[in-house]
A = this chain, B = another copy of it.
Amino acid sequence: MRIGRGPQIEVSRHAEMIAAAGMSRLAEPGDVHARALIEVLGLCDAYEFVSGSTALVVANLQQAVSELLESWGSKPGKRHLADAVSGWRARVNHDAVLDSVRQINRLGGGVLTAHHQGWPTQLNDLGMMAPFCLWWRGSLEPHDWPLQKSMVSIVGSRDASAYGNSVAIDLGSGIADKGLTVISGGAYGIDAMAHRGALTVDDQNFRMPTMAVMAGGLDRFYPVGNSDLLQDICARGVLLSETPPGTAPTRWRFLQRNRIIAALSESTVVVEARWRSGALSTAHHAVELGRSLGAVPGPVTAATSQGTLKLIKEGAELVRDAQDVALLMGHHDGYLPTETDLPFMKSESRAHDQLSANDLMLLDALPVRGWADVDSLSVASGLNVGAVLSGLSRFNGQGLAESKNGLWRKRASPSNRTPSA
């Protein structure tokens, strides 16, 4: 739409955008009847038909839509197209659609359809559940949004523990620090902490640390307590929704929103989830879409861990830190974790780790207080005198033993004092 496109195409794209915006007002997210109707009639005709401005033979449509739904493996149940249409028609208000489009433009955003440049093509993996369009606002135009391979969703419970919040903020910042984008739902708890963590990174070189997918319209920030956070995301990232401005978030829309989060991302990581948690729905969408799934474990005694522990037992990858997330996403980059990466590993390396079995037995036999001669070391260690002498010579060089008048003792060091169980 930027260069070398004729006015005809622009008009067509514009009409499609308005039709998609209109359909997103009429049908609920994930409505397979609406999706089938669009497939059969095309976006513009479908919207015109549903709005009542086009006369079509509904009997033929019912059959075409039913066949399509059947071919998709959908079980529409008792609901017929006519019922669906009558439901949508109660919501028809074309002026409101045009107002919504003007409103999102005023808010610094727009409406994106699958025909637009910048459409996240990974959403097409949702098939009949793909959104009609995306309403967006924020700091980057769609063609500058990151690719799927650079996006990871971090989701979890709203009533998170201090532990979960702390892990989420660390993961968010660690992931953004690697130049990857954190996707979440803008909710309280884990979502908010993951966004906040991502926003802690310097934005000089990286303009899209995080993206939030909302369940309702983008004209207001929900929940209100996260207004500042969502404003920050607008300023340095993007807010998305498949529902137009003015739409309230409902339970259904929250549940459907999760499939968008999962589909946008290369991987999904659940930081904290109870046995029943909305975050698990995102996890299941990720698995259904063939995306990789990770989960952060927590104490087995905490109710807030039961969902993530269940996911790990069912095959989700155990995630400890941002590096584990990058590996989950397939960003190996020649990286192999080393013992120096984690501070607690360094301190526990011990001088005797490289000793042979014989030298280990000799080291055990050396007194810490007092002194021992070679013969008594032979008895204590079960090694013959020659093995004792050559071992003592090595220990002398390594600073593990010291001698005086032909007697030997262990040289004091913090790690040599007690045998470890």
Contacts and interface: CB of A to CB of B under 8 A. Distances in A.
A79 B250 contact: no
A299 B375 contact: no
A69 interface: no
A313 B28 CA distance: 40
A91 B379 CA distance: 5
B421 A254 contact: yes
B379 A90 contact: yes
B300 A321 contact: yes
A386 B77 CA distance: 15
A224 B385 CA distance: 33
A87 B382 contact: yes
Interface residues of A, number: 81
A158 interface: yes
B275 A167 contact: no
Interface string A317-340: 111110000000000000000010
Contacts of A296: 300
Nearest to A171: B300
A120 B331 CA distance: 48
A65 interface: no
A230 to B, nearest CB: 14
Interface stretch (A54-62, A201-209, A232-240, A354-362): A354-362
A131 to B, nearest CB: 15
A139 to B, nearest CB: 24
| Best-buried of A83, A215, A317 by chain B (most CB within 10 Å) | A83
Contacts of A187: 421
Interface in A392-421: 419-421
Stoichiometry (number of copies): 2
A86 interface: yes
A251 B368 CA distance: 14
A375 B90 contact: yes
Interface stretch (A6-14, A106-114, A344-352): A344-352
A309 B167 CA distance: 15
Interface in A169-188: 170, 185, 187-188
A26 B250 CA distance: 76
Interface in A47-69: none
A312 B158 CA distance: 27
A25 to B, nearest CB: 10
A278 interface: yes
20 contacts: A84-B384, A86-B384, A87-B378, A87-B383, A87-B387, A88-B382, A90-B384, A91-B379, A163-B299, A167-B299, A167-B301, A187-B421, A251-B360, A276-B349, A276-B350, A278-B421, A297-B298, A297-B318, A298-B298, A309-B318
Interface of A: 26-28, 31, 77, 79, 83-84, 86-88, 90-91, 158, 163, 166-167, 170, 185, 187-188, 191, 215, 249-255, 274-279, 296-301, 303, 306, 309, 312-313, 317-321, 339, 342, 344-345, 348-350, 352, 356-358, 360-361, 363-365, 375, 378-379, 381-387, 419-421
